[in-house]
Structure 1
Amino acid sequence: MAEKGIVPIKLSLTEGDFYTLWAPSWREGGNEWQAFLGADDDLYVFNSPAELLTYIESDNKHDLSSHPEWKSFNSRDAARVVPEANNELDIVGAPALLADRPSYANVKTISRVFAVMRSLGNVTASAPVSVFFSSHSVLHNVDRGADHYAGPNGLGEWTAIGRAVVANWDKVVDALDEAITIKEVDKVFVEDAQTRIQEAEAAAIAAREAEEQVAKEEAEKIDPYDTSAWAAAGIDPIKIIIDGRTVYTLRTYLGGQPVFLGKFGEIYTFNSQKALLRWLVEHDDHDLARASTWSDLMLGINAGETEVQVHPDNVYSFNGLVQDINTSVDAVDTKQMGRAYELMADTADWADDDSMNSYFLANPRMQDYISYMLGGSDTSGYVPHAPFNDHSQSWRELEEMLTKRFSKI
């Protein structure tokens, strides 16, 4: 058992369930010690955690009061006397576990039972307990865990432990029954102790739930994309929905300038995420290959460990914009328009051509329209008014300029 300090335990013995405190082991004065709640040769047990709490809060003297961790333990709330589930030890029922298979739970439970039994035997100088463990070295192997019994000889060794327990366990349990002292306490204080234990347990549950809620809220704040290989590389998959079709490509920014997956002004686009990944595995002649993080990103892609993840901020939809522009100013989703325009401007910057500038020089009212819709200040007093068919036609032509850059649409 891995516990340190002082821990409450529950022992199921012949006469019932009892509660006490155990100090598994500690070093002091160059020696190793272990102890249970008691005095001199007496080992105290109680019928309930409330009775145990009542006793340790009294002025009664006991051996654990000299333990280096006692003050720290005794300053905790009332629930300090309530055992955790793995410290509820069914001593009488141990043989039944050994009759079952050596599962993780069974081996772990038997290991804990044996650890407490050995300690009880040492502290109480119980000959039957000490002789039992010293005479059967195979008992110590349960501390190695369930994997120890997974080999070809594992079940045989587990059976050997079961035989040793069946032949000696009654004497061992009888020795412990004789070693314990069921301590009486003043019943006047037990009810109050039980109330305080329940209050402390309720407070602990509430605190744990509050911590879990905070942790959940913090986890929800974390964007899963931020932990992806794409975010680490600073290269983003983008999804473009235009003319009723959907294509995928990649984009990054180097020196503040956009760089797309492509070359010589042509953007390599794909109609599925899998097609994009397959192409990347087989090709490296494109502008993104000059990014310093590209080789790191490709390690995961080549190993089949990196899937395409498109962040919502990298989804660009053009669907319906032409119709909305032709309808009215209010019909246009300016956020959608702004994102679409951002993509068109980025592709023109990357291609290093003046096609968009030339278009706006030839169609100045369209530039004023876009500036007005996106909240620009330089509109020369322009206010859009019906009919809007010229604007919708111009927007369609801008979309066509974009799709002509695509390798596939």
Structure 2
Amino acid sequence: MAADIIPIQLGLTEGNVYTLWAPQWLEDGEEWEAFLGHGDHLYVFPSPAHLAAFIRTSDEHDLIDHPEWDTAAELLVDELRPDDDHIFDIVGVPDLMAEVPDIWTLASLTDTVAIVRSLAEVCDLEVVEEILDSADGFAVLPLGQQAFVGRNGEKLWNEMGAVIVERWDEVIDALDALVTIPEVDAEELTQTKAEAAAINAVAKTSETVEPEEEEERDEDLEFWDETGVDCLEITIGERTGYTLRCYLGDDPVFLAENHRIQIYSSAEDLENYLMETDITHNLSTLQVWEEIRRAVTDGDAAVLAGPENTYRLDGLTESLREGPEAVDGKQLELAVELLIDAALERGDTETVEAVGSSTPLGNLISAITRPDPDRLPPSPPFDDEAAAWSVLVDRFAGTLDWDGARG
């Protein structure tokens, strides 16, 4: 299956520029990846209007033989404006390293390093590849915060930071030397600029929406809100189970032992488990744990999952195979949250990377959960993405210990 062609924005020395990226796709048994360019040059443009004018009139570039090029060449100007997941501030990487390595900083750094690595591999920038391979921290970025905690994590972060301070200018110089702004047809540019102006005018017109009345929160849900621990209801493999999760800082922590999540087939069964006094698990050392155990034992609190913690994984694989219109975007968003949280706790980098914006599956998920008229819509078939999703769900299912069983 061919991957979609995605508009991206790169922050370089001369400012923000726009181009197109075709993530890895399989064709005739070989993997390919490409950017809009020709020969030794990466083509970039000062605005989506310039990009639109070029792709509508030029047939001399490296994406012309891409299976989805005919679709990409017909995109409107607003469809060539990258979404937030595909804006990469490459010159801003040193500033990112100066920030606290929280979930947002790491997410931005991870995506930016990933696109830089793709550019280096596709465009044979050996010095950039060598720099990205010179510190182990670059490779473990997809793990998130947990990769940079403790003495070893601090060492990884500092080593990566030192490389960025000392050598990131070499990365920028290599990319600056690679990019070029090709000429565009003047008449076509006039039309695309007019098109952009018309779209912007329409976008400024917004409808007034009446605020929805806030529903009263259930008393049991309010109890769990106050403790900072969430009850989860998970449907997977035609079974529904209940477990707990909280966040220490930004790090997810489940009701688990040795990375095995304890899940029970009914709320009452989980309550009985929580009443026990001699159990040990990841949550039992929390200060609030004795309060939870006592409230459940005394009947002052019950296991109840709110809609924000109700996860329905069944059926999503089949819906993804059918395409975006068949998928419940909210349920998919929640499912992705659950899979990533569980993967982060057990140190599963493959799952985190699989749903990242640089993969076909990640691109499809993003298009469904954050629909944007400015983005290029994904194109069928979606068999590969559905298969990749099924692997992630099966991997998560394999970490669940049901009703006190031990895997």
TM-score, structure 2 length as denominator? 0.49
Larger radius of gyration: 1
Greater RCO structure (CA 8 Å; 6+ sep): 2
Question: 1 or 2, which has the higher helix percentage?
Answer: 1
